[in-house]
Amino acid sequence: MGNKPITMALAGNPNAGKTTLFNHLTGARQHVGNYPGITVDHKEGSFHQDGQQISITDLPGTYSLTAYSVEEVVSRDFLTTAKPDVVVNIVDASNLERNLYLSTQFLEMGLPVIIALNMMDVAKDRGIEIRVEKLSELLEIPIVPIIARSGKGTKELISQALEVAASSKTMEPRDISYGEDLDESLMELIATIEQTSFLSSAYPARFTAIKYLEHDDEMLRKGQAAAPETARKLEEIVSKTSDHLQATMDVYPEAIIADHRYGFIKAILRQGVLTHKFDTDRLYTSDKIDKVLTNRLLGPVIMLAILFGLYQFTFSWSELPVSWMEALFGWLGGVVENTLPDGLLKSMIISGVIDGVGGVLGFVPLIMFMFFGIAVLEDSGYLARVAFMMDRVFHFFGLHGSSVMPFIVSGGIAGGCAVPGVMATRTLRSPKERMATLLTVPFMNCGAKVPVLVLLIGAFFTEHKALYMFLFTMLAWLVALVAAKFLRMTVLRGEATPFVMELPPYRFPTFRGLVIHTWERTWQYIKKAGTVILGISILLWASMTFPGLPQSEQDLYESQRLEITETLAKQTEKLQDALTGINQEESAATLRNSIAGKVGLFFEPVSSYAGFDWRTNIAMLGGFAAKEVIISTLGTVYSMGVIEADKASSLGDRLVKDPHWNAVVAVSALIFIMFYAPCFVTVVCIAKESSWKWALFSMTFNTIFAFIASVLVFQLGSMFS
Ligand code: GDP
Ligand code: MG
């Protein structure tokens, strides 16, 4: 074997264990989940074995190679354009028949393929016995049984895969019979294709012909672009066949093709390849559990109870570690206060760095608890049930069952992020359902909004924190769904598409998996706090400090201080109070005069309808950079004008004491924060996934909506209280 790296692709059904194997081989820590459709983009990595460098690609999971979804197109395009040296087809041994459906299509494409028969442990537990050699003989490709989770059999798998890659003999595309009518039509199509070498660089003739019969949009488009003349001829043959089948049997060619593929698989499995020893298998157990958990009436009730339990767990268990973090940063502030001399540097470190970053990092324990809970739901397979149950509701609002994933990722169970949520919409097939999902996922309570909500709820509604959090999460869902319905009735009007999604069997989550999931997401949050937020806090601090007061005004405050010092020289206590009063006035005047202050003041006449003063406006503007910044900015603006002695009190206390804040303002602010323009990063993602036009639409639509809602809350609330 040469020194050139061998290219290897991992392909298979969703949930077959591709990412687990990928991680095992490369040592990377990709997201592994018991949830279909987790990998949308393909991921690359590399490793060594037998002195050979191997570069490996984890493809998105698919059930077929017909272009029904984005994953299928991504996978197929990769296989035909990148032409990997070997394709490792991961097959879930506990679900053999269904998984082999995809394998038959690799055979038809004539790809150099090897089957990794995964989940042998699960198959064994369920009493499923597979005669691997027999199966390999009948399919005419190598098969290696493995357990991806423990790495068993993977060395053997790779060494056999290397042999496939190295073997000079090319794979012959496998011919599966599709019945008399279709076979005849296929011959005609193949003859036409071969005559003109139609798309022959990418696909074997028979594969192209089959995809034409399956009405594969992507293939039809490619055909038309490459050779319109031949494409037209092929389409004619297909429509003739299609009409004939319709007239005689009332079926579409797609259905017959699927039937025959399953027939081909059944025929193989029946030759003593597959035996069930007993049928009290896990699928059976899963079905039994599902009878209760996805029951029409009981299911949603249990779901709400489980989600509510998640909140209880997160908020009550994290209370103590959160208070430790607060104490830590309070102590740090005190140390700096006492060691550094007064001046710009001290002000920057306390108001910019410690208050800003501390405010964000203080929530790390809470975020970790939340992510841990979500990881349990996801890895056990329950999250997929949530999607399944929510589909009924989603349909009503013009969305699709698959929209649930983006919503949950974005913070449907509070604490996600709209950025991966926006990316996750790629799994949606219909462009309009996809746009409607894309535009409404930012309404969810992402991990960055959670601390802001917690702060305000904690400060103004000390009782029943978990209940309020839960209610605000429900509100986010309600608003997102109504907004989606509104969009689907106006700018995105169109038909709904039916729902198909696999419910994976329930699995006991592994501790390692839970830890990896929790850590990955927490780390993303910390990274943001450590880099972006630090920069923004300092920038905001600068914009709130400069240009400073003109000398004449500074002198005025200085002379006031002198005067008071003289007159009150004997009454030291009163003197201290009077002096801090002046200091406070001076820093408030400085803030007012600063760049940020001017921007905040500029918006005050409008924002006051929603109860926001100019300082809150500064925080909201900062929040556009990243929602976490709202806390750090509030921390900064409300610490700058505060008497030294009060610095030790928490931001929540300071807000409660401030005359501009009360419970009504807090609710109005909560509503605005939940629904106004998505953060800058999300906006960029929306633009990348659709267009800048939609990104701008999202910013203006959300902000206007949020403002109207806050004004209503504030005006009505003020009237009644
Ligand atoms: P993908 O969708 O194909 O990438 O599948 P994943 O790698 O995300 O795996 C789906 C689930 O199956 C995860 O919960 C894995 O921990 C689990 N899993 C993967 N391989 C095995 C295995 O060999 N045995 C068992 N028991 N579970 C496995
Ligand atoms: Mg995966």
pLDDT of residue 533: 67
Pair 106, 76: CB distance under 8 Å: no
Q: Whose CA is nearest to atom 17 of ligand 1?
A: 17
Neighbours of 508 (CB within 10 A): 7
pLDDT at 485: 95
Listed in order, strand segments (DSSP E) in 245-356 are 274-276
pLDDT of res. 31: 59
Angle of CA points 293, 297, 301, to nearest 5° = 65
Chain-centre distance of CA 437, in angstroms? 12
Residue ID of nearest Cα to ligand 1 atom 16: 149
Residue 715 has pLDDT above 90, yes or no: yes
| Residue 585: pLDDT over 50 | yes
Higher pLDDT, 573 or 121: 121
Residue predicted with more confidence, 57 or 369: 57
Which residue shows structure tokens 């409660």?
656
368-381 pLDDT, tens digit per residue, is 887 788 788 877 88
* Average pLDDT for 470-484: 92
Triad 363, 474, 489: Cα angle to 5°: 125
- Minimal-distance CA residue to ligand 1 atom 2: 15
In whole angstroms, what is the distance from residue 533 CA to residue 632 CA? 9
Q: 107 CA distance to ligand 1 centroid (A)?
A: 24
**Whole-number Å distance between alpha carbons of 444 and 462:** 23
**Residue 360: pLDDT band with limits 50, 70, 90:** low
Rounded Cα–Cα distance for residues 77 and 79 (Å): 5
Ligand 1 pocket check: which of 15, 31, 63 to mutate, most ligand atoms within 8 Å of Cβ? 15
Which of 66-80, 327-341, 689-703 has maximum average pLDDT? 689-703
Average of pLDDT values for 95-108? 91
User: Would strands 128-130 and 274-276 be described as parallel, antiparallel, or unpaired?
Assistant: antiparallel
For residue 35, how far is its CA from the centre of ligand 1 (angstroms)?
10
Whether the predicted pLDDT of 513 surpasses 50: yes
Radius of gyration of the chain (CA): 31
Q: What is the pLDDT of residue 586?
A: 79
**Tens of pLDDT along 198-251?**
998 888 899 999 999 998 888 999 999 999 999 999 999 999 999 888 887 777
Q: Please check the confidence at residue 645 and state whether its pLDDT lies above 80.
A: no
pLDDT of residue 6: 92
Mean pLDDT of the chain: 83
Q: What residues form DSSP beta bridges with 8?
A: 56, 86
pLDDT score of 643 = 46
Q: Which residue puts its alpha carbon closest to atom 6 of ligand 1?
A: 17
Mutation test of ligand 1: which of 149, 285, 382, 511 has the most ligand atoms closer than 8 Å to its C-beta?
A: 149
CA distance 582 to 426: 57
Provide the 3-class DSSP secondary structure of residue 2.
coil
Range in 70-74, 278-282, 553-557, 713-717 the model is least confident about? 278-282
Is there a contact between 573 and 629 (Cβ–Cβ < 8 Å)? no
- 57 pairs with which residues across the strands? 9, 44
Task: Kindly report the pTM of this predicted structure.
Answer: 0.57
Please tell me the predicted confidence (pLDDT) of residue 712: 96
| For range 11-33, the mean pLDDT | 83
pLDDT greater at residue 421 or residue 90:
90
236: Cβ contacts below 8 Å, ≥ 6 apart? none
User: Does the pLDDT at position 142 exceed 80?
Assistant: yes
pLDDT of residue 530: 65
Q: Which residues form ligand 1's pocket by a CB distance below 6 Å?
A: 12, 14-20, 32-34, 38-39, 61, 118-119, 121-122, 147-149, 379, 507, 513
**Higher-scoring residue by pLDDT: 600, 287:** 600
C-alpha count within 13 angstroms, C-beta hemisphere, residue 304: 10
Confidence tier at 41 by pLDDT (50, 70, 90) = low
- Bridge partners (DSSP) of residue 409 are none
